[in-house]
């Protein structure tokens, strides 16, 4: 399982520049004009995790495999996109496939960088994008509702789902995202799972600033930060241009560059960490001479579910798990020493996995 994040925002707010930096590959064309991105760009990015490197030093495996994040750079949307304006709603389907949305907002003034609305106003820009996403969800829900109403005569079990769809549609028609619909309705969970509504996804608001904005929050950043807090959403502040400049630098040089701006971690690290947190994701490890690897699971997953991430047979034939905490593994230096010291635990089907667990699963199919 990997985290999938769709990058959205108005044209020319820095999405492609950020994408270039995040993926460390200049494969998303970046230019100073609207609609320079005309196809969704996708990339698989390793999740930075120093624990993997420590385990690899101890185990000396043949290969190391990090957890990954799929980044999808969606072409710039404009007002009317849901009805075909600009590049139309062609790309909205790509957002439905992601787990979270990174909403990039321009938060800096620069006369040399054009804005599609000829002025910088983060809250207005956010409203434009969110309105289009809501309208796109309305279209999807209306189409599904129409089909269900035709089928309900032959399938009475659809009645609760139809009522749930109508209530949700009324909510969307009021300009409210699906994520804020709190009514308990029978059939709603199944409906949302089927439709994968865009506005039901977790949103990370990303304020894109210039170098001055990194040192101190400007009024634009403060307004976005406040909006995110009011909505209970995640927030990150990055400089896409600076992140792009980090590409190609050695790790030590990158750290020195960041520290010169009073920053502890890069935008990549911030976004991934925030994405993991917003979706309740954690990592556990497998460590052997062939491979040291990180696996992504949901917080609260039990051992069989974690095993199933490796292979469905592991979950289906789960017998038990041998688990060592990361701290104990580092303390004693090997699985054998952990076993000898009694810190290797044998856990059953009800064991809830913890972030950083080093695990080995026994199964029989």
**CATH 3.40.50.300 domain position(s) in the chain:** 3-46+67-119+201-278
Residue 182 in marked binding region? no
Question: CB-based burial of residue 336 (10 Å sphere; 0-12 exposed, 13-18 middle, 19+ buried)?
Answer: exposed
Report the C-alpha gap between 297 and 300 in whole angstroms: 9
pLDDT, residue 16, reads 80
| 45 assigned binding-site residue | no
What pLDDT does residue 113 have? 77
Query: Which pLDDT value is given to residue 249?
Result: 77
Q: How many CA atoms lie within 13 A of 230 on its CB side?
A: 7
- Asked if 17 contacts 244 with a C-beta cutoff of 8 angstroms, the reply is yes
Report how far residue 342's alpha carbon sits from residue 83's, in angstroms, rounded to the nearest whole number.
Answer: 64
Strand arrangement of the beta sheet that strand 68-73 belongs to? 41-46, 68-73, 3-8, 100-106, 202-208, 234-238
On the 0-12 / 13-18 / 19+ scale of CB atoms within 10 A, 179 is: middle
CATH 1.10.150.300 in the chain is located at 132-199
Q: For residue 328, what pLDDT is reported?
A: 98
Q: Does domain 132-199 have CATH number 1.10.150.300?
A: yes
Q: Which residues pair with 203 in a beta bridge?
A: 101
> For residue 106, what are the β-bridge partners?
208
Q: Within 15-121, where are the H helices?
A: 15-23, 50-59, 92-96
Question: Residues with Cβ < 8 Å from 150, sequence gap 6 or more?
Answer: none
157 is known to lie in a ligand binding site? no
| CATH no. of 300-363 | 3.10.20.30
What lies within 8 Å, CB to CB, of 319 at 6+ separation is 362, 363, 364
Residue 251: what pLDDT?
77
d(CA 105, CA 215): 18
CA–chain centroid gap for 151, Å, is: 36
Q: Sheet holding 358-363: strands in order across?
A: 63-65, 291-298, 281-287, 358-363, 318-324, 345-347
Q: Could you tell me the pTM of the whole model?
A: 0.85
- Token pair, residue 332, equals 């004693």
Query: Where does 3-46+67-119+201-278 sit in CATH, by number?
Result: 3.40.50.300
Q: Who contacts 268 (Cβ-Cβ below 8 Å, separation ≥6)? A: 21, 22, 45, 48, 243
Other C-beta atoms closer than 10 Å to the C-beta of 183 total 10
pLDDT 10s per residue in the chain (365 long)? Answer: 668 899 998 888 888 888 878 766 434 444 544 545 445 577 778 888 999 999 999 999 999 999 888 888 876 565 655 565 554 455 677 788 899 999 999 999 888 776 777 788 999 999 999 998 999 899 999 999 999 999 988 888 889 999 999 999 999 999 999 999 988 889 899 999 999 999 999 999 999 999 888 888 999 999 999 999 999 999 999 998 888 888 777 778 888 888 887 888 888 888 888 988 888 999 999 999 999 999 999 999 999 999 999 999 999 999 999 999 999 999 999 999 999 999 999 999 999 999 999 999 999 97
Q: Is 14 annotated as a binding residue?
A: yes
Burial tier of 159 (Cβ tally within 10 Å: 0-12, 13-18, 19+): middle
All CATH 3.10.20.30 domain ranges in the chain, comma separated = 300-363
**Which two structure tokens, joined as six digits, stand for 92?**
């909205």
pLDDT of residue 26: 37
Query: CA-to-CA distance for 11 and 122, rounded, in angstroms?
Result: 13
- Residue 13 annotated as binding site: yes
């Amino acid at each position: 399982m990997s985290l999938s994040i769709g990058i959205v925002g108005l044209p020319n707010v820095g999405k492609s520049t950020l994408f270039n930096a995040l993926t460390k590959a200049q494969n998303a064309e970046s230019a100073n004009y609207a609609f320079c991105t005309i196809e969704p760009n996708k990339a698989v990015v390793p999740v930075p995790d120093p624990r993997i490197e420590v385990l690899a030093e101890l185990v000396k495996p043949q290969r190391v495999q990090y957890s990954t994040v799929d980044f999808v750079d969606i072409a710039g949307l404009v007002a009317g996109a849901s009805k075909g304006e600009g590049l139309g709603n062609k790309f909205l389907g790509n957002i439905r496939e992601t787990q979270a949305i990174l909403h990039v907002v321009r938060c800096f003034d620069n006369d040399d960088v054009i804005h599609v609305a000829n002025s910088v106003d983060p809250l207005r820009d956010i409203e434009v994008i969110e309105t289009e996403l809501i309208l796109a969800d309305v279209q999807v829900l209306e189409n599904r509702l129409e089909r269900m109403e035709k089928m309900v005569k032959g399938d009475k079990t659809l009645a609760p789902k139809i009522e749930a769809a109508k209530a949700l549609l009324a909510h969307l028609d009021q300009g409210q995202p699906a994520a804020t619909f709190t009514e308990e309705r029978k059939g709603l969970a199944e409906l949302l799972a089927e439709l994968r509504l865009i506005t039901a996804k977790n949103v990370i608001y990303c304020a894109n600033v210039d170098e001055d904005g990194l040192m101190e929050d400007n009024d634009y950043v403060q307004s976005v930060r406040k909006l995110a807090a009011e909505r209970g959403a995640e927030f990150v502040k990055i400089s896409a241009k600076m992140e792009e400049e980090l590409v190609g630098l050695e790790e030590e040089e990158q750290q020195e560059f960041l520290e010169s701006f009073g920053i502890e971690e890069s935008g990549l690290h911030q976004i991934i960490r925030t994405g993991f947190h917003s979706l309740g994701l954690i990592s556990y490890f497998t460590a052997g001479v062939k491979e040291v690897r990180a696996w992504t699971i949901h917080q609260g997953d039990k051992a069989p579910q974690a095993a199933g991430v490796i292979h469905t047979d592991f979950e289906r034939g789960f017998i038990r798990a041998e688990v060592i905490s990361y701290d104990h593994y580092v303390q004693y230096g090997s699985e054998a020493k952990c076993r000898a010291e009694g810190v290797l635990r044998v856990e059953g089907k009800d064991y809830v996995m913890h972030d950083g667990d080093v695990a080995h699963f026994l199964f029989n199919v």
